[in-house]
Every structure is written in C-alpha cells, then in structure tokens.
Amino acid sequence: MLINGEWQEGREYFEVRNPYDGSLLRKVPLSSKLDVEDAVLSAKKAAAIMADLPAHKRSAILTNTSRLIENKKKEIAELITGESGKAIKYSTGEVERAIQTFQFAAEEAKQIHGETVPMDASPNSEKRFAFYQPFPIGIIGAITPFNFPLNLVAHKVAPALAAGNSVVLKPSSYTPLTSIRLAEIMMEAGLPKGALNIVFGGGSTVGEWIVENENLAMISFTGSPPVGKRIKERAGMKRVALELGSNSASVIEPDADIDRAIPRCIIGAFSNAGQSCISLQRIYIHEKIFDEFKGKFIGAVKKIKVGNPMETDTEYGPMIEEKEAVRAEEWIKEAVDRGAKVLWGGERKGGIIAPTVMTDVKRDMKVVCNEVFAPLVTLIQYREFEDALDMVNDSRYGLQAGIFTKDIHKALDSFKKLHVGGVIINDVPTFRVEHMPYGGVKESGTGREGVKFAIKEMMELKLIVFNL
Ligand code: NAP
C-alpha cells in the first residue's frame, strides 16, 4: 500500500494471477479499514500541500510522469498484459495513451483560471467588483476497473493532481500492479508525499470504506452500472462522477464506405476481448447492404488471431476470469434457444471465447440489451435511418454511438437525436482520445472525463466581491 509516500506491508495478502496462464505474478496487501483511514489522513495533509503548489510545479510533475512512462513503455505494456490478459499491441497503445493523458494534464494545469463578473449589470451592485476562480475540491477517491489498468487510473489521477487535489486510489483487485508501477514513477517525477495514496482490496470492503469516508470531497468511479448506482446511494453529500458501461451501437448506411468500416468494426467489437465500456455490441446495417457487409465482416473475423496475449499479432486473449467467459457462453445459448443464429464463433475454451457474430436477435435478448462485455457482436437489419436511430436509443445505456455515412444531414440528425455522450461519424463508438469530453447518459453514468473536463469536475468555483 502507498500511504504518506511510504510503501507499507499488510496483515493479509491476496494473489494477482496472469489470466492467460494462471501463473502467480505477485501478492498484494489487503488493506484494512484502518489502512484506508490512514490513507485518507495522509491525503488530507497532502491536500493542503497540493493546493499551495504553484501551477508550474504541478505541471512539471505531470510532464515528468509522462516522460518517465515513455521511457518505460515496453515494461509497462508487458505488466498490463500480464495482469489483465490484454493483447500486447493494445497494452502498448494504452501506454501511449497514458503518456498523452499526463501530458494533456500538464498543459491544462497551467490554464486553470477564473473570470470577472460584470457587477454593474445589476442596479444592486453598481459599485462592486467581483471575480471567481476555481479551487481544488480536496480529496478525490478514485475507484477503477480492470480493463484499462493504466489509462483509466491516469484519467483520474492526472486531472486530480493538475487541479491541486490529493487522491486515495483503489484499483481493481485483478490489476493492482500497474498502479503500483505508476505510483513509483510519479514519486520519481517529484510528487509530494501523500498526494497519491493507494489501497488494495475488494470493492464491497475497501471500495465502500472509501466511498463512505466523510473526509473525501468526491468519488470518481469507473466500472459497472450496478456498482455505480450503489456508490451514488452511499456517497452522501460528496460529488460523484460515474463512468459506467454500455451496449454500444453502430449504424451502417448504404452510402458508407464498407471497406473502411469493416476493419474498424472488427477492432471495435473484438479488441480486449470486447471488455471495453464502448465495445461495439450492436451493428445496425441497412437492408440494401446487409448481405455484402455480413459476407465481408465474417471474412475479416475469420482472420482474427486469438490466444497468447504476449504475441504481437494476437488480437485478443482470455477474458479477465473464466467465469466471465462462461457467462458470455450462457448468454449466447439463451439467444440461440430463442431463435438467434451464430454466424461465426460461439465456442469457449477456458477463459477464451471465439470471436462471435450473431444475427436474427431480438431486442430483449441479453446479448442485445445487456452489456455483454465479451468478444461478441450482433448484426441487425433496418430499412429507414430513423428506425436505426430509434434502435440505437432503445437501450438503458448511452455512452457513444458510431454512424457510418457520407450524408452530412444524416450525421447531424444522429448528433441531435441519439441519447449518448458522443456521436462518432465514420467510426465505431469505441473511438476515444484523451482530451475529448467522454462520458455517458442514462445508466452509462454522470459527469465527463477527458482531462480538461475532469479537471473542471474536480474543482469548486469560489467568488470574491469587493464593495468599492
Ligand atoms: P466493477 O466490477 O464495477 O469494478 C470496478 C471497481 O469498483 C473495482 O475496483 C471494484 O473492486 C470496485 N467495486 C466493486 N464493488 C464496489 C462497491 N460496492 N463499492 C465501491 N467499489 C466497488 O467493474 P469491472 O468489472 O472492473 O469493469 C468493467 C465495467 O467497467 C464494465 O461495466 C465497463 O463498461 C465499465 N467501464 C466503464 C468505462 C467508462 O469510462 N465508462 C471504462 C472502462 C470500464 P474489486 O473488483 O477489486 O472488487
């Protein structure tokens, strides 16, 4: 555990294992309630230090972190693949994204400022002068999932520190090792003691102790919708940002460039074994091009290499745990029993599910209406563009959607009508870069990440009025 800038042992430990070969990677301390309280106390002391640290110093720490991660790109990518099972090419991509996340945060740290208020606009304040300024909110409790163990931690820690806050982090119990490495790097980068504290353990214990702690100002959570709901219920008066899941969709219009859409849909549906919050789960294809798209898509799926995530040409490896693969297999079976067709895949070997393409699905099948979080995609025909948009909206989630069309009117129509946080034209919903506002509506969450936007959520506006 990292408390007050010191690495601490625990009374009990839990094992972190490689999901591909089951090998033991490391034992990690299981934090007690007292450890969590110590971590919060340490963050409380550091919050005052961070709030006093000038912007250029906060920026320098974040720039140093970005550079140090860049120097250790290969080592960190291998660590991510080891503990999460993510294919190495995508782990390398995740490290590259985290380098940018820290760099954007370094730049944004220098841009935080307020504005004057035109007080003479009201007859009641003619002779007054006022301005407001954002101040750090205090201690941020960051709780993160397994699927991006570096960059999703970066999307909380980097903006929190850029804003002048301190952090208590609880990473996923599947993937705590990348957080340990990141903290070592941040200390080398010059982070003040206690500005980042890390505790380990299950969500229902350590996670909830963080959520309920009165000293915290905000909980920033990324994970599943049921846990997000529970956190919101238990967080009291704290600010809560929730980045949750989805059953994201794409629409393929007849004027779309199919050969450009297919490789993007393959990545969108299958990278990281479908274990991404914006994984492509539903593809709505216009009836005029359905057969052509289906044929070309299956042709591309057949070429996907699944297996050892350390091999550079592997697209994806195992799911995080075998029980998750078993769950996905059961959902496939449930759909087949109700008349769905498996066009390709459907089999499971241990924790690995073959790339699976289904059609003839119904809107209330689990593979359509729930977040499948597995390498599985459904192909659904439509006739009218309006109907396709309605089907995309027919979801309790709303994170991002991808629309493939050359028609600007249809693009703008989808922007207006889709109930999501982001509409991606001529790409899959799975597209994300670090400085864009990112987040969902409905059960996909509240609040926005993307460095500049997260900083805003992690600060409080304060006003000063001079009576002249
Ligand atoms: P999860 O089961 O919800 O866990 C996420 C984190 O919450 C873990 O650290 C977990 O701890 C902790 N947790 C569990 N129960 C908790 C509780 N009662 N109180 C406080 N913390 C608790 O999610 P996951 O399986 O790791 O990740 C997959 C989910 O994350 C998917 O739904 C995916 O869509 C979503 N996700 C969303 C985004 C986004 O940006 N919108 C990005 C990535 C993933 P332990 O696991 O250690 O017990």
CA 217 to CA 140: how far, in whole Å? 6
Angstrom distances, CA of residue 112 to CA of 99, 419, 452, 460, 465:
21, 30, 9, 12, 20
Kindly report the protein residue whose alpha carbon is nearest to atom 46 of ligand 1. Answer: 172
Kindly report the protein residue whose alpha carbon is nearest to atom 14 of ligand 1. Answer: 203
Q: How much of the chain, in percent, has pLDDT values that exceed 90?
A: 100
Best of 222, 247, 279 for a ligand 1 pocket test (most atoms within 8 Å of beta carbon): 222
**Cβ(248) to ligand 1 under 6 A?**
no
Kindly report the protein residue whose alpha carbon is nearest to atom 9 of ligand 1. Answer: 172
Centre of ligand 1 to C-alpha 410, Å, is: 35
Centre of ligand 1 to C-alpha 242, Å, is: 10
Residue with the two structure tokens 């190495």: 88
What is the model's pLDDT at position 199? 99
What is the model's pLDDT at position 101? 99
340 token code pair:
């769905």
The residue-averaged pLDDT of 91-111 equals: 98
- Contact indicator for 355, 270 with CB cutoff of 8 Å: yes
Q: 154: closest CA among 94, 98, 195? A: 98
The residue-averaged pLDDT of 137-149 equals: 98
What is the model's pLDDT at position 306? 98
**Cβ(31) to ligand 1 under 6 A?**
no
For residue 279, name the pLDDT band (cuts at 50, 70, 90): very high
What is the model's pLDDT at position 154? 99
Domains of the chain: 2-244+444-467 (3.40.605.10), 249-433 (3.40.309.10)
**Cβ(320) to ligand 1 under 6 A?**
no
**Cβ(146) to ligand 1 under 6 A?**
yes
**Cβ(245) to ligand 1 under 6 A?**
yes
For residue 407, name the pLDDT band (cuts at 50, 70, 90): very high
Catalytic residue among 108, 243, 324, 449: 243
Best of 80, 224, 442 for a ligand 1 pocket test (most atoms within 8 Å of beta carbon): 224
**Cβ(211) to ligand 1 under 6 A?**
yes
What is the model's pLDDT at position 228? 98
What is the model's pLDDT at position 91? 98
CA angle 88, 15, 77 (to 5 degrees): 15
Kindly report the protein residue whose alpha carbon is nearest to atom 8 of ligand 1. Answer: 172
Reported as a single tens digit per residue, the pLDDT across 347-405 is 999 999 999 999 999 999 999 999 999 999 999 999 999 999 999 999 999 999 999 99
CA 355 to CA 170: how far, in whole Å? 32
Centre of ligand 1 to C-alpha 468, Å, is: 52
The residue-averaged pLDDT of 32-40 equals: 98
The residue-averaged pLDDT of 418-430 equals: 98
- Contact indicator for 444, 421 with CB cutoff of 8 Å: yes
Centre of ligand 1 to C-alpha 69, Å, is: 24
- DSSP bridge pairs for 146: none
Catalytic residue among 94, 253, 277, 434: 277
Mean pLDDT for all residues in the chain: 98
Kindly report the protein residue whose alpha carbon is nearest to atom 43 of ligand 1. Answer: 277
The residue-averaged pLDDT of 405-433 equals: 98
What is the model's pLDDT at position 466? 98
| Other CB atoms within 10 Å distance of the CB of residue 163 | 27
**Helix (H), strand (E), coil (C) string for the chain:** CEECCEECCCCEEEEEECCCCCCEEEEEEECCHHHHHHHHHHHHHHHHHHHHCCHHHHHHHHHHHHHHHHHCHHHHHHHHHHHHCCCHHHHHHHHHHHHHHHHHHHHHHCCCCCEEECHHHCHHHCCEEEEEEEEECCEEEEECCCCCCCHHHHHHHHHHHHCCCEEEEECCCCCCHHHHHHHHHHHHCCCCCCCEEECCCCHHHHHHHHHHCCCCCEEEEECCHHHHHHHHHHCCCCEEEEECCCCCEEEECCCCCHHHHHHHHHHHHHHHHHCCCCCCCEEEEEHHHHHHHHHHHHHHHCCCCECCCCCCCCCECCCCCHHHHHHHHHHHHHHHHCCCEEEECCCEECCEECCEEEECCCCCCHHHHCCCCCCEEEEEEECCHHHHHHHHHCCCEECEEEEECCCHHHHHHHHHHCCCCEEEECCCCCCCCCCCCECCEECCEECCECHHHHHHHCEEEEEEEEEC
- Please indicate whether residue 243 is annotated as part of the active site: yes
For residue 74, name the pLDDT band (cuts at 50, 70, 90): very high
Query: Phi and psi at residue 384, in whole multiples of 5°?
Result: -105, 140
What is the model's pLDDT at position 417? 98
The residue-averaged pLDDT of 446-468 equals: 98
**Cβ(234) to ligand 1 under 6 A?**
no
CA 443 to CA 397: how far, in whole Å? 5
What is the model's pLDDT at position 422? 98
- Please indicate whether residue 277 is annotated as part of the active site: yes
For residue 121, name the pLDDT band (cuts at 50, 70, 90): very high
Reported as a single tens digit per residue, the pLDDT across 247-261 is 999 999 999 999 999
Closest ligand 1 atom, CA of 444? 41
Centre of ligand 1 to C-alpha 302, Å, is: 31
